[in-house]
Amino acid sequence: MRTQIVIIGGGPSGMLLGQLLARAGIDAVVLERKTREYVLGRIRAGVLERGLVNLLEQAGVGARMKAEGFVHDGTLIAYDNDMFRVDFAALTGQTVLVYGQTEVTRDLYGAREAIGGDTRFEVDGVVIHDAGTESPFVTYEQHGAQHRIDCDFVAGCDGFHGVSRKTIPVSVRSEFEKVYPFGWLGILSETPPVNDELIYANSDRGFALCSMRNAALSRYYIQCDTGDDPVRWSDDAFWDELRRRIPPQAAEALVTGPSIEKSIAPLRSFVTEPMRWGRLFLCGDAAHIVPPTGAKGLNTAASDVHYLYQGLHQFYGEGDPEGIDRYSERALARVWKAERFSWWFSTLMHHYPGQSAFDKKMQLAELAFLRSSPEAQAAMAQNYVGLPY
């Protein structure tokens, strides 16, 4: 068969791109390795920038997000048993929306089904052929049968472990990586959030984050060792450790309960360049990873989708390749700024194994500066709410 765009990966990047293309009358087939239930079972991002919110509205999936998402106009930063607030709305005139990636993906699946979009689940052995030529095609296996799809372009939206990035020859690919010496142990619990805004906490015992999905569903994280295993953490042990890392007034207000999900995520900064090779475009985690501090992963995936969608729209609508030709350059310019912010915020907030007393003093001095300087807070807020596309 033939389609205009083969999208590899049915995560948020692939589904958002598919939906925007469909609304512009551009055909795409989405190939996803897992089942729909598996994808929707992954608990990931929770904070959406305005740019992503706008794109979801443009894709026609804004209704539930608008009704159920929580507008956050600031965040709390804790250190030394105390907290201060960064007021996004006052400093930037903008806010963020707390609405889970699971719900975003569910809404996108619903919308794609409603328009009869072609999404193929449980595909195996995806191979991208001839991406360096004018006539690429993709082969894969599904339920024991071999398939081939010819297309104009391939969008590699298959996450960090996908095949798309590896299809770009090593001779043209440069990779930049930093692996942090810790991970995040996260739990989801059906308890009211400890606070109506997120709390990012720097403590001598390690970083902690109090987040949420809705008024009755909380998401908490604590920094852990990279080799740690979630099964070694009982719920009680998690809650006790969280209480020790957040200021006393938050620890006292914390409502605990059984966890309904518990997992560990490693922390990594990673960028591959270029994000385009011939007729293959990389989007989202397939091209870059950020540590979750600052909530930039899904939001940076969204800015890629924006640039790629604009480029394809310009190509099919006006016959002008300028947008796809400049895709990699435009996407990377914004990616690197999100990388910088996530790296800065991670470095500021975590306890590093073997951290010297001097390094700890540097973190505390920077936190004290951030607390006292409206200009420093404005720079932080500007990055947190999302840089313009």
218 binds ligand PHB (CB under 6 A): no
Task: Find the distance separating the first CA and the last CA of the chain, reported in whole Å.
Answer: 35
Other CB atoms within 10 A of residue 265 CB: 15
200 a catalytic residue: yes
Catalytic residue among 99, 109, 200, 221: 200
Residue with Cβ nearer ligand PHB (156 or 292): 292
Q: Binds 89, which of ligand RFL, ligand PHB, none (CB < 5 to 8 A, cut-off by type)?
A: none
Cβ burial of 370 (10 Å; 0-12, 13-18, 19+) is: middle
46 binds ligand PHB (CB under 6 A): yes
Q: Binds 75, which of ligand PHB, ligand RFL, none (CB < 5 to 8 A, cut-off by type)?
A: none
Shortest Cβ 244–ligand PHB spacing (Å): 20
The site for ligand RFL, by CB under 6 A, has a size of 37
183 binds ligand PHB (CB under 6 A): no
CA quadruple 343, 349, 353, 355: dihedral sign = positive
384 a catalytic residue: yes
- Give the Cα separation of 104 and 62 in Å (integer): 9
56 binds ligand RFL (CB under 6 A): no
32 binds ligand RFL (CB under 6 A): yes
Catalytic residue among 136, 193, 221, 296: 296
72 a catalytic residue: yes
- What are 290's two structure tokens? 């950020």
CA angle 357, 360, 362 (to 5 degrees): 115
- Give the Cα separation of 204 and 211 in Å (integer): 20
Classify strands 145-150 and 137-142 as parallel, antiparallel or unpaired. Answer: antiparallel
Looking only at residues 83 through 112 of this chain, which bind ligand PHB when binding is defined by CB under 6 A? none
284 binds ligand RFL (CB under 6 A): yes
Q: Are 14 and 157 in contact (CB under 8 A)?
A: yes
Binding site for ligand RFL (CB under 6 A): 8-14, 31-34, 39, 44-47, 101, 123, 126, 157-159, 161-163, 184, 186, 265, 284-285, 292, 295-299, 301
Residues labelled as active-site residues: 72, 200, 292, 296, 384
